[in-house]
Amino acid sequence: SEAADLLGLMHYMEGMRLITALELVPAKSDENVTVTNAEFSNVPVRLYLPRRAPGGLRRAMVYFHGGGWCLGDAGMKSYDHMSRRISNELNAVVVSVNYRLAPEHRFPIPFEDVYSVAKFFLQSQVLAQYGVDPTRVCVAGDSAGGNLAAAVAQQLLEDPEVKTKLKAQILLYPALQALDLDLPSYRDNANKPLLPRSLMVRFWSEYFTSDPALREAMDSNGHVPAESGPLFQFVNWSRLLPAEMRQGHEYGVPAPGSAELAQRYPGFLDPRASPLLASDARLRRLPPAYILTCEHDVLRDDGVMYAHRLRAAGVPVTHHHAKDAFHGAMMFVLRPFEMAVGHRLLNTYMDWLNENL
């Protein structure tokens, strides 16, 4: 991807998307679940409906895939497998959303797509159409999708048109802030698979612009203008991370960046892109959360800090920290990339959903 980008043959993310294309599977029903491609609010979704008799109203999940807002698809084999399993085992309706991707569609378009699907689905007549219990609906996502799920949960609180309240928000190794890209987890896991720091910085910057000036500023962690300095209180890892994650690291407020750059690309200062920037008053009203973090992951500290802030705001949080796992580990449950850690994380997650959704 990098070579093709440098040679001007294709955008870096177009090259990366070839990986996604290899993983796609058709919307194919089986004996347990009816699977169809549909559109909700003009956004493509893959819909999973359990075939067994409902025995009452069903649970439901609106799911947002990962891929740094630039890659991924609800039809990838691992996402399809997870959605089928949730639909079948939990007797749940799953709406897996194919939001538009950067760099063609930058922030806030991916957020607006997932938000419009969630808002559409939460209408009482739509829930009734699919036999869904309005008190048992959650939003969920992994990585960039976890970012979108957290942002959607926050935005729904402010929308007077939405009467249905979420039962839960599920954030799997989520990206939650673009202010400080020099957290201990970014330092410790800078070169770990599957998400090295350089790629995460690229994802963040491409979400807002292809201007290399922002990517370079983010890479040196000098992109936040001085006037936005007060926002660092919301991502101050020196007080939001436990001692064992701070060990060996010295905290310092990042050097101020260009005010002009922030004016041109203000998205990274927006809570819809960085949900950790939400005020405590806003966090207080959020639904219970399940947050998965992995030790060997640049995004580890985002999830840990959000769990801390949610708990401090009085929100019930189940924080599962996997000390032996890396970013994206839950996807590794199918051959030829099957791993015991993937099965363990997925089973723990399924158990939580069964008890709490």
Share of the chain above pLDDT 70, in %: 98
pLDDT at 8 over 80: no
Which of 143, 185, 205, 228 is labelled catalytic? 143
Q: What is the pLDDT of residues 55-94, one digit of tens each?
A: 899 999 999 999 999 999 999 999 999 999 999 999 999 9
Is residue 194 very low, low, confident or very high in pLDDT (cuts 50, 70, 90)? very high
* Global confidence as pTM: 0.97
CATH code of domain 1-178+275-356: 3.40.50.1820
Question: SS3 letters for the chain?
Answer: CHHHHHCCCCCHHHHHHHHHHHHECCCCCCCCEEEEEEEECCEEEEEEEECCCCCCCEEEEEEECCCCCCCCCCCEHHHHHHHHHHHHHCCEEEEEECCCCCCCCCCCHHHHHHHHHHHHHCCHHHHHHCCEEEEEEEEEEECHHHHHHHHHHHHHHCCCCCCCCCCEEEEECCCCCCCCCCCHHHHHCCCCCCCCHHHHHHHHHHHHCCCHHHHHHHHCCCCCEHHHHHHHHHHCHHHHCCHHHHCCCCCCCCCCECHHHHHHCHHHHCCCCCHHHCCHHHHCCCCCEEEEEEEECCCHHHHHHHHHHHHHCCCCEEEEEEEEEECCHHHCCCCCCCCHHHHHHHHHHHHHHHHHC
> Is 143 a known active-site residue?
yes
> Is 105 a known active-site residue?
no
pLDDT at 21 over 80: yes
> Is 327 a known active-site residue?
yes
Which of 73, 188, 297, 301 is labelled catalytic? 297
